[in-house]
Amino acid sequence: MPWRIRSTLSDMVFRFTIHGEQVTISIRPGALSVMFGTHEVLTYDRGGRLWVLTRDGRTYRRGLNGHLLEKHRTGDGLIRRRVSDAEAAELIDSAAARMASLRDALTKEAATRAAANGDGVLEELLTIIERASYFDAAEHGADRKAFEQVYDPVGILPPDQYMAVVVQATEGCSFNTCTFCDFYRGRRFRIKSPDEFRVHTRAVRAFLGDSILLRRSIFLGEANALAAPTRRLEAFMQIAREEIGDLPIHAFLDGFTGSKKTASEYARLGMLGLKRVSIGMESGHDPLLAFVEKPSSAADIVATVTELKQAGIAVSVIVLVGLGGDRFAAGHVADTVALLNRLPLGSGDIVYFSTLSERTNAPYAAQIRAAGIRPLNDAELRTQRQAIVERLNFGSPGPQIATYDIHEFIY
C-alpha cells in the first residue's frame, strides 16, 4: 500500500507578545513560520529543518543538501549568492537561539493554558518549535553529511519540482554530450536495479522524516531516468509509491529517447502516477542542436510530446535562450517558434524559457570562441525571448509560459 502523507496541526495562526516583541506563528500543512516583529521570519519544515530565513530584506533558503542561497534586491536588481559555510553556521545558530527562546517562553504559556482548559494545540505547536530549536550549526552539519550518504549530487530540477522528493533511479545522463551542460560531466550513466532502488528510497524516507510533509511530488532522477526500459520504470514507480508516498511523479526525458516509447507505454506509467515529463528541447533549429552535440531533433520532440499527450501525461518543454549566440539567433527563433506551435500543448503543460548560463566545466564557451560566435548581450537575450513568445499560437487554454532560472536552484 502506498504511504498516505498526512499532518495534523495545520492552517492556524497564533499571536503572542514575548519580552515586548510581537510574535506571529503561522502553521501550514508542511511548515511552521515565525515572524519576530516586522523584520525577521523563520520558516521550518515539520522535521525541524530550517527552510527559509528572512531578515532585514535578505532571504536565505536552505536546501536539503545543506547549502544556503541568499537573495536580495539592490538598485542593480536581484542579487543571488551562495552563502559560505561559516556564514551559514552563524545564521543557523542565530535562528536556533531564536527558536529556543520562543520555546522557553511558550512552555510557560502552554502549562498555563493546559491547566485552565486542557488545550493541547499549543503543546503540539511546541513539539515543532522544539525540533526547530535543536537545529543549530552542529545539527545542520550532521544533516548535510547525512544527505551526502543518501544522495549523489542533485544537478538540476525543473522549477515546478524544487520541492519534490528526489529519488535517484538512475545516475548521470544517458548521453552527456551537450557542450553547454556540465551537470553530469565525469559521471557514468547507470540504471539501478529494483532492489537497489528500494534501499535508496527507504534511506530517503528515513532521512526526510517529517520533513516529507513539505514535499508535494516525487521526482524520478536523474537527468534522463525515463530512458530506462518501461518494465524497469514500472518497478521504480511502484517502489517509490510504496516507500515514499502516494504523490504525483515527475521526471526528465530527452526527445530522441522519448520517441522510442509508445503512448501505451506512457499510459501504463501514468497509471502508476507519472504526472508530468520535462523535456530539454533547447531549440527547434536542428543545425544548432547538432552544433552543441544535442542528440535530438525537432522531429524527435514532436514524436515524444505527441506520445506523452496521447497518454494523458502533461509535459514541460525547456527553451534555451541565447544558445548559439549571434550566428544561430535567427534560425533559433524561427524554428523554435515553428516547433512549439506544432506541439499539442494545453492546460497543465509548461513552456520554460531558460537563459543560457556558461558553465565552468562545459566546453561551450571555448567552442563558440573557436567558431567566432559572439554571445548575445542582456538586451539581445530579452529580445530573443520576446520574439519567440510573441509568435506563439496556442489554443485556449494554452500552456503556462514561465522562466527557468538555474541560479534559483537549490535542493
The SS3 assignment for 332 reads helix
Is-contact 239 249, C-beta < 8 A? no
Helix (H) or strand (E) holding 319: strand 314-321
- Between CA 100 and CA 94 the distance in angstroms is 10
User: Where in the chain is CATH 3.20.20.70?
Assistant: 151-408
pLDDT of residue 8: 54
Given CATH 3.40.720.10, say whether it is the number of domain 151-408.
Answer: no
Strands (DSSP E) along 125-183, which ranges? 165-168, 170-171
pLDDT of residue 344: 97
pLDDT of residue 108: 76
Q: For residue 158, say if its preceding peptide bond is cis, omega within 30 degrees of 0.
A: no
Q: pLDDT tens digits, the chain, 411 residues: what are they?
A: 444 444 556 678 988 888 899 999 999 989 999 999 999 999 999 999 999 999 999 999 999 999 999 999 988 888 899 999 999 999 999 999 999 999 999 887 766 665 455 556 777 788 999 999 999 999 999 999 999 999 999 999 999 999 999 999 999 888 889 999 998 888 889 999 999 999 999 999 999 999 999 999 999 999 889 999 999 999 999 999 999 999 999 999 999 888 889 999 999 999 999 999 999 999 999 999 999 999 999 999 999 999 999 999 999 999 999 999 999 999 999 999 999 999 999 999 999 999 999 888 899 999 999 999 999 999 999 999 999 999 999 988 999 999 999 999 999
Is-contact 26 13, C-beta < 8 A? yes
pLDDT of residue 4: 43
Phi–psi pair at 363, nearest 5 degrees? -80, 0
- Helix then strand then coil, in percent of the chain rounded to 5, is 45, 25, 35
pLDDT of residue 113: 60
- Between CA 146 and CA 73 the distance in angstroms is 33
Q: Which stretches of 11-134 are DSSP H helices?
A: 85-117, 121-133
